[in-house]
Amino acid sequence: MKKNWYAVYTKPKCEKKVSASLTKKKIENYCPLNRLTKQVNDRKKVNLDPLFPSYVFVHITDLEMASIRQTNEVVNFVYWLGRPAQVKDVEIETIQHFLNEYTNVSLEKTPVNTTEMVRIVNSQLEETETFVMNNTQTLQVKVTLPSLGYMMTAETTRSNVELLDYSNVPQVKNMVS
């Protein structure tokens, strides 16, 4: 049977615990952890917090679903149109690369308002097309995750992106206008 990625909904603040339990059961899973840098008195502290509150992703066959539901602290699968929602492999890979590349990543459930389309260069996300939200030396980079309904946002420098010319592509031209 083919394995697919699914989102599992956990009890609040139990993402890491669920991930550890699934790993013990030898079930492939991914709990995306965001590196958050916080200023504490005179030093900086880095915390690893789950990027998606109450979500852990599992890579399983349909036959393994019952085992997931029996895991402590798991509430259920995330459903879409009456079935457990599948997450595309490329989106899991994008999350992994984005979190390896950037810190202090934030999530948004808002639609994308683009001003420029770019391709990220000088990173593991090379060839990933994304959006830039301002035009200064520090850019806000957003990558969409359509099957999850989220955008990941992080800051980068102008030297890490390459402007793409979509002026002749009608659907993109309308988005930018």
* Backbone φ, ψ for residue 156 (5° rounding): -145, 175
Do residue 8 and residue 82 come from a single domain? yes
Q: Quick check: is 157 in a domain?
A: yes
Domain that holds residue 41: 1-87
pLDDT at 159: 62
- Do 71 and 129 lie in one domain? The reply is no
Residue 94 placed within a domain: no
Cβ 118 vs Cβ 134: under 8 Å? no
Specify whether 117 is located in the same domain as 154: yes
Q: Final residue of a domain: which of 57, 87, 117?
A: 87
Nearest to 94 by CA among 126, 139, 122: 126
| Low-confidence stretches of the chain (pLDDT beneath 70) | 110-138, 157-177
Q: Are residues 8 and 78 in the same domain?
A: yes
Question: Do 47 and 120 belong together in one domain?
Answer: no
The whole-number pLDDT of residue 153 equals 87
Per-residue pLDDT at 170: 46
- Are 68 and 148 contained in the same domain? no
Q: Are residues 158 and 115 in the same domain?
A: yes
138 lies in some domain:
yes
**Whole-angstrom distance, CA of residue 68 vs CA of residue 64:** 7
The tally of domains found in the chain comes to: 2
* pLDDT value at residue 109: 85
Which DSSP category does 85 fall into? P
Instruction: Pick the last residue of a domain from 59, 87, 115.
Output: 87
Q: What is the DSSP string of 40-72?
A: ETTEEEEEEEESSTTEEEEEE-GGGHHHHHTST
- In this structure, is residue 52 part of a structural domain? yes
Domain check: are 109 and 42 in the same one? no
Place of tokens 């995330």: 78
At 171 the pLDDT is 43
**What is the CATH number for 111?**
2.30.30
DSSP 3-state of 17:
helix
Q: Which of 87, 117, 147 is the last residue of a domain?
A: 87
Token representation of residue 22: 């699934």
Residues 113 and 166: their CA atoms lie apart, in Å, by: 16
Q: Kindly report the number of other CB atoms within 10 A of residue 152's CB atom.
A: 23
